[in-house]
Chain A
Amino acid sequence: MPPAFEIRQQIDHIYRSDSRRVLATLIRLLGDFDRAEEAMHDAFMAALDAWARDGIPDNPRAWLISTGRFKAIDAIRRAARFDAAKAAHAGQLDTSVLPPGLIEDTTGDVEDDRLRLIFTCCHPALTADARIALTLREVCGLGTEAIARAFLVSAPTVAQRIVRAKGKIRDARIPYQVPGREDLPDRLDAVLHVVYLVFNEGYSASSGDAIVRHDLCDEAIRLGRLLVDLLPEPEAMGLLALMLLHDARRHARTAPGGDLRLLDEQDRSLWNRPQIAEGLALVERALYSRRFGPYTLQAAIAAVHAEAADAAATDWRQIVGIYDVLMRVEPSPVAALNRAVAVAMRDGAAAGLALIDAILGRGDLADYGPAHAARADLCRRLGRREEAAAAYARALELTHQAPERRFLERRIREIAGEP
């Protein structure tokens, strides 16, 4: 028999790899998030004793699910002694108990449970903040404190969002199910959007000292992989590809002092090549399906950058072409801005500046820092120093992120210092 600490280590490992799957199935069996969480913890506690005594079972996950369910039934029975109303519930659980054989071979079902959990956490009837917090908590297993740190809100705020969301799931009866074919595209969009927001907050933190929060990027990529495994829809692949390709530049993107390095200043030998290869393969699969959308198109743009040996070799003609498609599929002021920057690279700064001025003229991005920074950059390249300085100053006013602020301040100094 292996020594106790070794069992403990193995249980820790199983907790990390399987606790979310166990939880997802227990939520289905018990019909309640909190009860399922308690049952899962009880099951892991029970495993510490039982596995040290009897060894680790052949199928630890099935053991944990079955133990968790019985622990929950016990708990409900104990409570029922004080509350006749709950006795009926314990009875229901007993009759809904699946034969043990079924549990031991429910790999397919268990994966479905994970999807059920994702779709429930990202239900459109929950607020956007709640969807993110609940997904990170229940699907990724992040603690309330970690979520609070990542989004720069207080832990009680996060806890309250999660409690409210669980309350709504229970009281308004948000079902624990994967949506049917008819609803799937819209509901999958909602899920992808949550993953995208988590990644974005990690990749380009909206405020704070660090430009990138790698832990959030990692969680978003993990979620993206899970979705592609469970539901290989083109846009799920597109989003995963987009995240992989951007995250591949992680080490090249910040200078030693924590400063931001733009794409054209990055040392491309620092890019994560295996991750780029994985991203490129996913983009290709998604494009090949011909059912792709905005995530795949954005990934395709990232792919063009990834394929360029250096900044000068970037195929801007192709990038503008993909932005044209993106603007047809999902027009947005930010996409228009990015397209304008690409046009500036293809046709010259003046052409890009005309487009940006038109966008700003419509008032769409008047308070969007990157729009003013892009305008400033094109003015600078055209030698229009005063305009450039004013636009950099406006961008600086709108930016709350320390490394980005330092970058803009550097530009302002450079312009002032130029003869």
Chain B
Amino acid sequence: MRYLCLIYDDESKWGTMPKAEVDAMMGEYFAFTEGVKHSGHYVGGEALQPTQTATSVRVRNGKISATDGPFAETKEQLGGYYLINAKDLNDAIQVAAKIPAARIGTVEIRPIMEFN
């Protein structure tokens, strides 16, 4: 079964972190990605640019409106995702717990809706 692991953390932290810490975190992400590729869980994953680059689009009455910023202002922002294949929710939780951001932020696991 496929699950999307949405990574939420406080993106402002990244700017204030010393370079060595950022490098260490990146190293952990690299190792995690290699690990889930090796274990067969990995389907895909990307990191996102910060929310200051976000644009929210709505179409109302046929008119497109594009506004600056994310859909919702929250303390933790969506910063990236992994799409994984897992046996069940327990398996997915084990994988998500190893995402480095789980220690400082939150990883939301969402099962993928499968249409037959």
Chain A residues in the interface with B (C-beta under 8 A): 85, 123, 125, 171-175, 177, 179, 183
Contacts and interface: CB of A to CB of B under 8 A. Distances in A.
A171 B1 CA distance: 10
Contact of B116 (A85, A177, A183): A85
A187 to B, nearest CB: 9
A175 B88 contact: yes
Interface of B: 1, 87-91, 93, 109, 111, 116
Interface of A is mostly: loop
Given A85-B116, A173-B1, A179 B90 contact: yes
A355 to B, nearest CB: 36
A174 B91 CA distance: 9
Contacts of B88: 173-175
B111 A125 contact: no
Nearest to A85: B116
A216 B113 CA distance: 38
Given A172-B109, A174-B88, 11 more contacts: A85-B116, A123-B89, A125-B89, A171-B111, A172-B89, A173-B1, A173-B88, A174-B90, A175-B88, A175-B90, A179-B90
13 contacts: A125-B89, A125-B93, A172-B109, A172-B111, A173-B1, A173-B89, A174-B88, A175-B87, A175-B88, A175-B90, A175-B91, A177-B90, A183-B90
A314 B90 CA distance: 47
Interface of B is mostly: mixed
B92 to A, nearest CB: 8
Contacts of A172: 89, 109, 111
Most-contacted residue by chain A among B87, B88, B89, B109 (CB, 10 A): B89
Nearest to A182: B94
Nearest to A123: B89
Contacts of A85: 116
A174 B116 contact: no
The 5 A-B residue pairs whose C-beta atoms are closest, nearest first, are: A175-B88, A173-B88, A172-B111, A174-B89, A172-B89
Contacts of B90: 174-175, 177, 179, 183
A173 B93 contact: no
A175 B89 contact: yes
A190 to B, nearest CB: 13
